[in-house]
Amino acid sequence: MTYKIKQIPEDFIVDEISNVKSNQQGRFLYIEVKKKNRNTLDVVKELAKQLKIPLNKIGFAGSKDKHAITTQLFSIANCNQSKLKEVNIDNVTLKFIGYGNEPITLGDLEGNRFTVTVRNLNKIPEGKIDFCENYFDEQRFSKNNKQVGEFIVRKQFKEAVELLELPVTQNNYVGSLQKIPKRLSKLYVHSYQSYLFNQSLQQYVKNGKKVEYSLGTFIFGDKKEDIKLPLPGFGVEIQDQQILKKENITLNDFIIKQFPELSMEGTFRDAYVKVKEFSIETENDELNNGKKKAIVKFILPKSCYATIVIKKLFA
């Protein structure tokens, strides 16, 4: 079934379900940030610029989609409410929530509430989704993130630099990579880990409806099991190393002596996630004449992809 999402920002609405508790006073100012067609990091940079503070004084629980309308909490260290009133950022509204003694850091949320409009439909799928395979979706991989991460893990630094088209001085490829912001370079290695997880999950599910993506195939089944699968890295025990053998790597390859900060410890991720408060409504699609649109609402835990739920629904 051919469908369209994110034709306009209003088609993808994300509201963060925060676990942060605010008070009447504290070292950190908490604000609700509602943005449209803006990256979370772009908003952080602009906010820091206008407040004339370092970037690391602003905290948030997770990055939100750009092509969407999203709401999330930020913390700002040593900032009073009056300064906030002077901030003016295009397509962004700020709302004072309160104060606290702790910064908001990555992972400080319960999950996200999604309202996704799916367009260009001839018919609407029946039933509901109670659970979903917990794949990483395209947003995790971008254009070359997985490949760059793989090169770094394999210590093929020259190939990583060439793929990123970075300037090189006297064949110092490690030096070129070290100039990349640490947050971004970590993302490359995380992307490769995510790809390996997807491969393991696909192998685990085995049978079901198939949906192609840029790095392979998602397989969606009709059974859910309470099981965790590995995000490979050093220091974790993995019983089934079939995926690693196929990739011709070992867990110790994630120890990167040239970049200690990029050495990735292994962990585990839920193979399936519960989809809460799922609902679907049908309307005429005003952007695609003669077609229908589905307004799909649901809640997911943190670090899960709404687009995966949509792919399963319309597989």
User: What are the catalytic residues?
Assistant: 65
Token look-up 């970049």 returns: 259
**Amino acid, res. 222:** D
**Which is nearest to 112 in space by CA: 146, 181, 147, 61?**
61
Q: How far apart are CA 143 and CA 34, in angstroms?
A: 27
Torsion on CA atoms 23, 24, 30, 34, rounded to nearest 10: 100
The single-letter DSSP state of residue 22 is P
Q: How far apart are CA 41 and CA 60, in angstroms?
A: 10
**Separation in Å, CA 91 to CA 9, 61, 66:** 11, 20, 11
Residue 295 token pair: 């307004």
Q: How many CB atoms lie within 10 A of CB 212?
A: 8
- Cα of 141 vs its chain's centroid, Å: 10
